[in-house]
A and B are shown apart, each in its own frame.
Chain A
Amino acid sequence: MIEKRRGKLEIIADILSSMQKKEGRIKPTHLLYKSNLSHSKLKEYINMLLEKGMIEEKLVKGKKMYFMKDQGYKFLLEFERIKEFSDSFGL
Chain B
Amino acid sequence: MVFESVPYGLPSYVFSPNWFYGFDSIIELIAILVSILLVYYSYKCFKLTKEKKYLYFSAAFLSLTFGFIAKIIGTLAIYKPSITRTALGSSIHEAFTGLTPYNINAIALVMHFFFMLLGFMILFLIISRLTWKNQRVIALLVYFVFIATWLSIIHYQLFYFTSFVLLSLITYSYYQNYREVKSKKAGFVTIAFGILLISQAFFVFVIYSRIVYVLAELIQLLGFVYLLIPFILIFRKRPRIIK
Contacts and interface: CB of A to CB of B under 8 A. Distances in A.
A44 interface: no
Which of the four size classes fits the interface of chain B?
Answer: 20 to 34
Mostly helix, strand, loop or mixed at chain B's interface? Answer: helix
Interface residues of A, number: 22
Contact of A85 (B45, B239, B240): B45
Contacts of A70: 241
Contacts of A23: 242
A85 B186 contact: no
A40 interface: no
Among B48, B181, B235, B241: residue with most chain A CB under 10 A: B241
Interface string A74-86: 1011101110111
A47 to B, nearest CB: 21
Nearest to A22: B242
A81 B188 contact: no
A18 interface: no
Given A73-B239, A88-B234, 5 more contacts: A9-B48, A23-B242, A85-B42, A85-B231, A87-B181
Interface of B: 41-42, 45, 48-49, 53-54, 57, 126-127, 173-174, 177, 181, 183, 185-186, 188-189, 230-231, 234-235, 237, 239-243
Interface of A: 7, 9, 20, 23-24, 70, 73-74, 76-78, 80-82, 84-91
Across the A-B interface, give the 7 residue pairs with the lowest CB-CB distance, nearest first.
A90-B177, A88-B185, A77-B239, A87-B181, A88-B230, A24-B242, A88-B186
